[in-house]
Amino acid sequence: MSAAPDLRRARRNVTVLLIAQAVLGAQLSMIFIVGGLTGQMLSPNPCIATLPLSMLVLGSALSARPLAGFMAQYGRRAGFLLASLLAALGAALSSYAVMAGNFWLFTFSTLLIGVYMSAQGFFRFAATDCAPPEFQSRAISWVLAGGLVAAFTGPILVRLTAEMTAVPFLATYATIIGLNLLAPLIFAFLDIPKPEPRASDAPRGRSLGALLRDPRIAVAVICAMVSYALMNLVMTSAPLAIVGCGFHTSDAANIVSGHVVAMFAPSFFTGHLIARFGTTRIVMLGLAILAAAGAVALSGVDLAHFYGAMILLGLGWNFGFIGATSMLTRAYRPEERERVQGLNDAAVFGGVFLASLSSGGLMNCSGGTPREGWSAVNLAMLPFLVLAGAALLWLALRPRETLR
């Protein structure tokens, strides 16, 4: 954006985006709790029970670059409102699909809700639009901290609504419609100027190929994609594993709540840690914690194991994803901002889509019992953690003058 950085304006926007993350973001934790269970209830084949959640992520991946272009032309507020409108429409279709018992309509409806998921991913970038450079890492962290509220409200709303009607989860999706209708009230206070039309002689920045060849951008994208995709891979299957191992839906909601708290609670100080220790060390710490989450999950299927694994999964995501995002914001020029942000989120959510798509098959169709399926899900993390760790180490060992 073209406006000069202003700390007061930046703090106002961070507050608005934090509220949006807290209120509107509750719908994502709600969907991840009930989406797989709803899919299992409606699906003709258990191997595709998590397909609706995969379509949620695919909707986010497909809309990332178009949404970035839309906001570059019409502004952040317009993009966020459009995404919330489409999510409300998607939730309305979900409600109808649940009533009609139509798995394929339900699957399509989550594709529309995925546009909001994409928009929420841009909250962290919007927080830096008017922020001075020294405030940007903290702005990203504070906005993501709004997810801490959603970690409590989402599961609470699920517990209140899941069995409110004769048709399970119908009231849950109706509640998601209402959340999205609050968007115009929240974003009315957002103060990010529309970008000025680009002059014909203005710098255009590097080509897409040149951007991808920049080691800092490439490694930041890889680490963000691995952190988010592996978190989603495990989180998508977790409710199915918890219920499949004999526990109740309310247990799954409580465990996912603890997971989401762990995802966002560290955001109050992640920015300070990045400023002190640097992005590379924080991302490496995130990858190590993700590996620890897999180890705990493989060690047993008691409630304590589920809680421990999912809390570690959330912590690992926080350090890995926020660290990679901060790394990325330091690697591109101002004129490349929208292009790199759209490219990054398309890659990230493309990876998350593949992880989500694989999750149901690994969980339901790779073993004879829920425990075997849960083990397969967590073992699948290993090669990708090795890839991201190797990329990060390669970047750290490059001559220092090539880094920022």
Residue 361: the pLDDT is 81
For residue 334, give the DSSP letter. G
Residue 197: the pLDDT is 67
Residue 252: the pLDDT is 86
Burial 328-346 (b: 16+ CB within 10 A, else e): bbebbeeebbbbbbbbbbb
Residue-wise pLDDT tens digits, 14-69: 999 999 999 999 999 899 888 888 988 998 887 788 889 889 988 988 888 889 88
Residue 1: the pLDDT is 43
For residue 4, pLDDT over 60 is answered with: no
Residue 401: the pLDDT is 45
Q: How many CB atoms lie within 10 A of CB 46?
A: 15
Residue 388: the pLDDT is 95
How large a percentage of the chain has pLDDT more than 90? 45
Residue-wise pLDDT tens digits, 302-329: 999 999 999 999 999 999 998 998 898 8
**Mean pLDDT computed over 340-364:** 83
Per-position DSSP letters for 266-316, written without gaps between them: THHHHHHHHHHH-HHHHHHHHHHHHHHHHHHHHT--SHHHHHHHHHHHHHH
Nearest Cα neighbor of 3 from 231, 226, 192, 212 is 192
Residue 310: the pLDDT is 96
What is the residue whose two structure tokens read 């084949």?
45
For residue 404, pLDDT over 50 is answered with: no
Neighbouring C-alpha atoms within 13 Å toward the C-beta of 308:
15
Per-position DSSP letters for 68-116, written without gaps between them: HHHHHHH-HHHHHHHHHHHHHHHHHHHHHHHHHT-HHHHHHHHHHHHHH
Most distant CA pair in the chain, distance: 65
Residue-wise pLDDT tens digits, 143-176: 877 878 887 888 889 989 988 998 989 999 999 9
Collapsing DSSP to helix, strand or coil, 181 comes out as coil
Collapsing DSSP to helix, strand or coil, 203 comes out as coil
CB contact at 8 A, 212 and 218 = yes
Q: Which residues contact 167 (CB under 8 A, 6 or more apart)?
A: 98, 99
Q: Which residue has the higher pLDDT, 179 or 124?
A: 179
Residue 345: the pLDDT is 79
pTM check: above 0.85: no
Please tell us whether the domain made up of 7-194+208-402 is placed in CATH 1.20.1250.20: yes
Sketch the domain layout of the chain as residue ranges: 7-194+208-402
Rounded Cα distance between 141 and 136, Å, is 9
Q: How many CB atoms lie within 10 A of CB 196?
A: 10
Q: Which residue has the higher pLDDT, 107 or 44?
A: 107
Residue-wise pLDDT tens digits, 238-282: 988 998 898 987 888 889 888 988 988 887 788 888 888 988 999
For residue 202, pLDDT over 70 is answered with: no
Collapsing DSSP to helix, strand or coil, 199 comes out as coil
For residue 246, give the DSSP letter. T
For residue 402, pLDDT over 70 is answered with: no
Residue 403: the pLDDT is 39
**Mean pLDDT computed over 233-241:** 89
Burial 215-227 (b: 16+ CB within 10 A, else e): ebbbbbbbbbbbb
**Mean pLDDT computed over 280-290:** 95
What is the residue whose two structure tokens read 């379509």?
55
For residue 360, pLDDT over 80 is answered with: no
